[in-house]
Structure 1
Amino acid sequence: MQKIPGMEVMPDGSVKVNGVLVKTVLLDGRAYFGDDTKLASRYLLAGLIDRIQIIDREPEIASGNSSRTTKSEKVVNLIIKKNRYDSWNGAISGAFGTDQHYSSKLSLDHLTTDQQISIIGAANNVNGFDQQLEPTGSNGLSRYWNAGINFNQAISSKLSLESSYLLSNNVISLRNESTRRTTLPDSSYASRQSMVSNQGIHNQYLVLNLSYQLDSTAKLDFRNQLGYGTTDMAQRSDYDSRSDRGYLMNAGISNSHEQSNDYRYGSRLFFTKRFKKLGQALLVNMDFGLTRSTAEPFNNAITRYVGPDGQDRVDSFDLFNRQRNESEDLQLRTRYTQPIGKDQFLDFTYLYSRHATRSIKQVYNFDPLRQHFDLPNDSLSATLRGNYHIQNGGVGYRKQKERFDYSFGVNLFLNDQDTKIINLGQSAKQHLVTGLPYLAFNYNFDATHRMHFDYSANVLPPSSNQLLPVPDYSNPLLIRTGNIDLRPARTEELNLEFRSIDPATSRSFLVSLSAAFQKDKVVDDMRVDSIGRQIILPVNVDGPFQGTLMISNALPISKLHSFLRINTLLSMSREVSLNNRVVVHTQRLMAIQSAGFNYTHKQAWDILFLGNIIYNGTSYKRLSQSGLNTVDVNLSLKSNIYLPLAIQLGTKTSYYLNRGREAGFNTDQVIVNLLVAKQVLRKHAALQLMVYDLLNRSNTISRNVGDNYIEDIRTNPLTRMGMLSFTYYFGKPEAR
């Protein structure tokens, strides 16, 4: 996929096309492990693939809050080579290394015209590091294993089955140090935190899809997914805050331990019908979702606060929560298209959505006499019930000619929201009726040049957590509560795109410009008291804006049979927030310039270069700190040399440079990874020696930017190691 112009494969296996995340990966038009798009790039052998189709299609899940889904979603369809059919192809590998590191992986596929069987599995404690010479896991140190099977079968000429089951377990050990600078209208202060956490995550899901072709004009699809997950997380942190003059404001220690589980079920029923009259069509679909979750977190903290007069005060809490959340979702959607003349159509749409939720939170204080959590804390407990009903109906006109098409219309949006906090005797009812217009225009200059423009509007009602006026004290320095008077947010969007794709030369050019204007956006009203605690209340504001310019180029180099990819992204936004009752305007500018180049010389050697430069600028109005600017440079060069006697030498060298961060968080590092491989057993197997971070320079640093704070975080990385791996290949040699 990396060799396809405009395509990117991220370290975790997700795929992007021209900067847009791919939503679905298909195998010969059939689902591959449901909607998990990361597994195909990590497990399928490249030798199986004949070609790759990139498809723009209307999203299967409709948004009930929008006037129209004008943005199509990206789908990748992997076409299998016909001579790879009717045989088992795949690989199994095992590796052991220094410091008790290990890794194993299984990928096995049996593909035919009517049947697809894929079996996968993996286990490692090296953050997914393998022969690709790149970790795929998260920050910290991860021990991960998974196993799954994907089975697709054409039962008859009309009925087909798609199914998969995936089981995974991930244990993450995380240590980080962070520095956060919070800016107020008249001052600023710095917070430091050192945190250690251990998290165990277990997930499994089952997918079962049936598709039935009623006749040549009608089709029925029934899709189901059942999931179950558990989480066990323990965390300990110590923290302190100091004023801009260096005076101590607070310091403390907190501990938490939470065990939770959740059950998820979702089903979707599609019916599509094309009538004899050209362009006349009917779509009906129903979605149903059910979620049940429980959690039992323990939280305790002791914090010393120093007031402006220098007087100390110590505050502590020791709490146990028993939480239960239930939700049910139902969505009905229909769309009917009626031709009214030559190249003219009327589109009628209707959507009904219901979301019912029930949340019970029981909080208990620790009883030192009984040594048990049996003292109810009514002020922090809450029982919430919410019902949300959305109706969205519209009519639109569409004209479609050979060179151009356009459409416009209006939707009537109705939202009824009823939220009750039973134990507090509070309730909030919201009723909204508004119009949501849309407009779209496409023009084809010729077979390879196309322009697109659209306008749409959407609304977003507040969530139950944003409405719930019950304080959350899980972080003693960051106390959140809800606002029962919140109003729905409204966004107006404009998009303009020009695209040129020449299939003969694979030359492509894309430029897009988008803008979003927001009204009644829900933001945080942050108030900092005299001892450094942040009290956060969600409120509505007007005025946020975001504009984005993206330019993507794929330039073929015919003499080298290669491509040069150049991408530019410019994003500018204006945010509005409240800081100690002062309205703050935050201006942000982000610029990303990236380039990629790949070249293969016969079967002797290949190289892949990727690089990007990222600039982030943030400026504040009405705050004591005027602005902050950072620059990040990421460069990587991956190469392989194929020598006689079936020997392969591989390397990946990465360079990271960060500037503009807090003291101690600017990095300048080079990561060198090596691979030496030898095919054995008549090329049915391979021995591989892999080295990660040969120079032992790995250092993981990230930055978070909020409305009034900048936070730099250093996380424990995977450090230098070596591994010896053995891989055995199944099936046809050309499939490897």
Structure 2
Amino acid sequence: MKNLFLLGVLCLLTAALYAQSPTGSPARFTLQGRVVDTASAPLPASTVMLLNPKDSSLVNFGRSSENGAFSFKNLKSGTYLLKISFVGFLPYNQVIKPTGEAIIDLGALKLKPITKELFEVVVKTAKAPLTIRGDTIEYNASSFKVPPGSTVEDLLRKLPGVQVDQDGNIRAQGQEVKKVTVDGKSFFGNDPKLATKNLQAEAISKVQVYNDKTEQAKLTGVEDGKKEKTVNLELKEEFKKGGFGKVTASAGPASNGLPTRAEVKGNYNKFDSKQQFSVIGLGNNTNQQGLSFNDYQDFRGSNSFNWNDNADFGFSSGGRFIYFGGDDDESLGIPVDGRAGRGFSNNAAGGANYNYDTKKTKLSTSYYYSQTRLQLEAERNRRNFLETGSFRTQENSNQINFNGNHRVSLRFEKQLDSLNTLVFINNSRLNNGNSSLFTLQNLFRGVTPVGAPASEVLSTRNTTNNFSDSRQFGSANSLIYRLKFKKKGRSFAASASYQINTNDASLALNARNEFFQANSVNDQLRIIRQDQGTNTLRNEYKASLLYVEPFAKKFFWESFYNFSLRYDEVDRDVYNIGDASRIRNDSLSRYYKNNYLFNRLGSSVRYSFKGLNLSAGLAGQQFTIDGRYAPDQTSSAFNRIDRTFTTVVPNVSLNYDMKNNKYLYGGYDVNVRVPSSRDLQPIINNSNPLFINEGNPNLLPQSEHNLNTGFSYFNPGSFTNFFANIYGTYYVNQIVYSQFVDPQTLITRTRPENLTGGRNIGSYASFGFPLKKTKATLNLNTQLNFGRNLTNINNVLNQTNNQNYNIGARLDLTPTEWFTFYGNANIGRTNTRYSINSGQDQKIVNNNFSGDMNIKLPHDVYVNTSLNYRVYTNERFGFDQRIPIWNASVYHILGKAKKAEIRLSSVDLLNRNVNVSQYAGQNYVQDERVRTLARYFLLSFTYNMRGVQAKMRREGFY
């Protein structure tokens, strides 16, 4: 129960916040009334708010009932502004003053409909902090105060019904936010964090939260019932007509034997209604690797992403339903990493972006370069379980990596007319990198003499010095054509894509193995000196067709076709290096060419009426591989791989949008994962001489049968939300990596195989409610997951069962403008059982407790402090790691215009930072500690460039 201590403390903090006098106290009263129109007919679901008349801040809110009634109970004695709004009616405003009575009944309050004559009336009353229209909630950003220089993320934390965790993930109305748009446009891609981390809060006029249609539904015009929780940010006019950005420079003294810490970064955006130009740059040695979320959102523009750019059309419930596993090169997109990385890194990046956006033409193009030098010093302990015992690997490594990347992207969209649209997309990357790695591994064999306690003896030692470098090029190009017919719901789409990837890599391997227990070992295993070179070329051509036809008013027929042709060519040469010779190793060298052909044809029928969407369909897909391999391309005899796989893929989905913000969904589908080229080829990889892996040309595609169902509910009057789902996956021909451990040397060899019977079942539930509206919110969640993984260990089938239990709570306190507190508690347990050796069953604990507090002091001085306490334990193996990370900063806003900030920051005040992880795998448990940048201090100066001031005369409604 001690793990619940912090959660208890957080909950107790709320007592002081919303402790109230007894209901019968004369200092409290109840306000009630009824909302009606001019004919005295009730107006149900009207938005009813109580505001502070001094600054229009929100005190309480709700919605009227079916008969128009509303009630606010237990109000403090004082003056309030009552504001009522309903679509199509003028807002109603009334000042409420206490009368000394326990109940103030306002009776029927009549709202006037908006007529042509009333359009001339200027409404000068306070703006409504929020408005509720069906499932859409609109917040007036100016009603929720945040410190100058705050981000959109800080603003979202203030909004009732919205939560933002420490990593920037957003939940609204109990559901994960899938998209963030700006002025209704898809500015910053699928990751909402890209748009919230650094866009200035002062640039936002309104925040709208609603359920958006999927891009598939928008394209076809067919309602599929699926909803994507979306946040739209409306910019103020002055930020639409000028430039804005910021520049930050930071420096701190040397500490912990490490050099001076420094950061510099800046970005600038200038755009109007049609064009945007952005530049960005950064450099640091504070582990901010790649481009941070903060800078990324400023860098990208309104046309950078479009969620309908997926050229692999299929069932409207999503997914390609076929995956090539394990061969993916580095992403062609810009790397985004907003959190401090592990180890020690020096980073630099810069780029430029240009967008052009009109109704018929949209162009986005960018160039970006980034480089990172990363040093990792790691200590790992891994225990592998065998049928008759176990062995432990103790590893210490030091690795230095360098990566430099040039990236170019272009997206062009042309609306040919009202029915025809053409899109072209290109993403290209040129990469060069190198790595040096020193590793010392000691393998201990367990020994248990009769009558004596268990002990270990050193069995094998490995010392490895590797140096590698690589040069990669990749380019992906897609052309998409869309046609909407005049008949509503009828549509057609076609796409063609080409992708090329090349990789020229080399590895210098220098390893020494010492076998203390083995009687006879091949001398070639004792000292390994090799030069390994690998040249890879991959080309892929794809095409897709989609047609949607409405029939019988409520039914739609959807059909699609997918084609893919992929060519892989790999030339791998391995040479053994002697004192005076360089001899080719034919057993490790390999040349192979694979041709992949994929065809899929599918069709489904959808029923859509009054919120109910039901779809059922089938697709037949065929995958063919034609490959050949040999030790060298000049070989006279090649081995061949000639395989054809045919699969029928079903798809069923149910989406029911019920009344009163209730939503029910469910579905069943099958995904197919094709073996990677690396897994199919019998190539031996000995870059880690004690853990050798080899491909398997007899692999079959893996099938995943997925079943899921869920329910969500949101009450816009009380802001109570509930969400729950259940999901399960069953694997057929699952690709797993079986192991064979040499009993003499303890060298482990892995090989992919197909096994059927693995499964994964889980559920997630969350419940959130306000303890006091606008002041305190509590969210509770729980997650369960039960997995069964199969693998062969020394030709004996091992079944690993994992039971994961997680419970969490989040408390948001925003009682005043000058104080906020956000607390989290997450408790995780994993129980792991091994059929091959039940004596090694174990329990793993991963707990995380955190709090973040912000305080505003006089004279524009602000204090921020956060504490993150992580607990990792595994009693069976004596692992107990407790890491408190305390960060704090104090900053002052400078100048009348409040454009500048000076900040003193301290990171890891307790000097306890270390990157720790623990994991239980199919037949092993591993913990890892990585030495990471710890306590340091920074003094920084930031200058914010604001939008051009635009004094505009406004008339009409406020």
Give me the TM-score of the superposition, normalised by structure 2. 0.71
| Aligned-pair CA distance for 1:93 | 0.9
Which residue number in structure 2 is paired with residue 367 of structure 1? Answer: 578
Counterpart contact for 2:763–2:783, Cα < 8 Å: yes
Q: 1:52 to 1:365 in 2, by over 3 A?
A: farther
What's 2:557 paired with?
346
Structure 2 residue aligned with 1:482: 695
Q: Quick one: which amino acid aligns to residue 376 of structure 2?
A: L
2:770 is paired with a residue of what secondary structure?
strand
| Match for residue 548 of structure 2 among 337, 343, 347 | 337
1:128 equivalent in alignment to 2:304:
no
Q: Please point out which of 371, 375, 398 is paired with 1:196.
A: 398
1:548 aligns with 762
For 1:677 and 1:6, locate their aligned partners in 2 and report how far apart those are by CA, in whole Å.
26
Shift of 1:664: 6.7
User: 1:224 matched to which residue of 2?
Assistant: 426
Q: 1:520: which partner in 2? A: 733
Match of 1:254 in 2: 464
Name the SS of the counterpart of 2:678 in structure 1: helix
1:286 matched residue in structure 2:
496
Does the residue aligned with 1:212 lie in a helix, a strand or coil? strand
Amino acid at match of 2:657: N
SS of 1:47 mapped into structure 2:
helix
Q: 1:591 to 1:182 in 2, by over 3 A?
A: same
Higher deviation after alignment, 120-129 or 341-350: 120-129
Cα distance change of structure 1 residues 445 and 73 upon mapping to structure 2, 3 Å threshold: closer
Structure 2 counterpart of 1:692, from 876, 901, 907: 907
In the alignment, structure 1 residue 409 sits paired with structure 2 residue 612: no
**Correspondence 1:383-532 to 2 at 5 A:** 383-423=591-631, 425-503=638-716, 505-530=718-743, 531-532=745-746
Q: Displacement of 1:703 after TM fit?
A: 1.5
Name the structure 2 match of 1:701: 916
Q: RMSD of the TM alignment (CA)?
A: 2.9
Following superposition, the deviation at residue 655 of structure 1 comes to 1.1
The match for 2:264 is 104
Is 1:723 aligned with 2:917?
A: no
What SS does the aligned partner of 1:241 have? strand
| Contact residue 584 and residue 620 of structure 1 kept, 8 A | yes
Query: Is the aligned partner of 1:174 residue 2:376?
Result: yes
Kindly tell me the number of residue pairs found equivalent between the two proteins.
721
The 2-side partners of 1:163 and 1:15 are apart by 28
The answer for the alignment partner of 1:152 in structure 2 is 355
Alpha-carbon offset, residue 622 of structure 1: 2.4
The match for 2:848 is: 634
Matched, 1:377 2:585: yes
Helix, strand or coil for the counterpart of 1:196?
strand
Distance in structure 1 (CA, Å) of the matches to 2:807 and 2:722: 15
Q: In structure 2, what is the Cα distance between the partners aligned to 1:282 and 1:585?
A: 48
In structure 2, C-alpha distance between the alignment counterparts of 1:73 and 1:237, rounded to whole Å: 47
Conserved? CA contact 1:300–1:319, under 8 Å: yes
Residues 357-400 of structure 1, C-alpha deviation per residue, up to 9 Å, x if partnerless?
A: 11111111113115xxx321111111111111111101211111
The one-character-per-residue Cα deviations of 1:401-431 (angstroms, maximum 9, x if unpaired) are 1131211111111111112114372111111
Q: For residue 441 of structure 2, what is the amino acid of its counterpart?
A: Y
Please state if 1:570 is matched with 2:781: no
Compute the displacement of 1:555 (Å): 2.2
1:96–1:503 CA distance, 2 compared to 1 (3 A): same
CA distance in 1, matches of 2:869, 2:577: 51
Per the TM alignment, residue 515 of structure 1 is displaced from its structure 2 partner at its CA by 0.7
Question: What is the DSSP-based 3-state SS (H/G/I as helix, E as strand, rest coil) of the residue aligned with 1:44?
Answer: coil
Pairing partner for 1:652 from 850, 855, 866: 866
Distance 1:80 1:141 in 2: 38
Residue identity matched to 2:499: G
| Gap regions ≥5 residues in structure 1 | 61-68
Q: TM-score, normalised by structure 1?
A: 0.92
Letter of the 1:351 partner, please give it.
N
Please give the secondary structure, in 2, of the residue aligned with 1:465. helix
- 1:51 and 2:207 equivalent? yes
TM-superposed deviation, 1:602: 3.8
In the alignment, the residues of structure 2 paired with residue 19 and residue 145 of structure 1 have an alpha-carbon distance, to the nearest angstrom, of 38
Report the Cα offset of residue 576 of structure 1. 0.7
Cα 1:6–1:494 change in 2 (3 A) is farther
> Residue 526 of structure 2 aligns to which amino acid in structure 1?
D
Aligned partners of 2:572, 2:347: CA distance in 1, in Å?
32
What's the CA shift for 1:237? 0.7
Rounded to whole Å, the distance in 1 between the matches of 2:176 and 2:510 is 40
For residues 150-208 of structure 1, the C-alpha deviation after alignment (integer angstroms, 9 at most, x for no partner) is 32212x43112122222211111100111100000111011100000011111221221
Instruction: Answer yes or no: is the 8 Å Cα contact 1:343–1:401 preserved in 2.
Output: yes
What SS does the aligned partner of 2:515 have?
A: strand
588 and 624 in structure 1: CA distance in 2 versus 1, 3 angstrom threshold: closer
**Contact 1:665/1:701 (<8 A) preserved:** no
Among 86, 92, 98, the residue aligned to 2:247: 92
Please state whether the residue corresponding to 1:279 is helix, strand or coil.
Answer: coil
Amino acid at match of 1:608: Y
1:137 — aligned with what?
A: 340
Name which of structure 1's ranges 218-227 and 307-316 shifts more when overlaid on structure 2: 307-316
Q: Give, in angstroms, the shift of residue 15 of structure 1.
A: 6.4
Q: 1:418, 1:428 within 8 Å by CA — same for their partners in 2?
A: yes
SS, match of residue 625 in structure 1:
helix
**Cα offset, 1:330, TM superposition:** 2.0
Measured in 2, the distance between the counterparts of 1:462 and 1:542 equals 15
Deviation at 1:734, TM superposition (A): 11
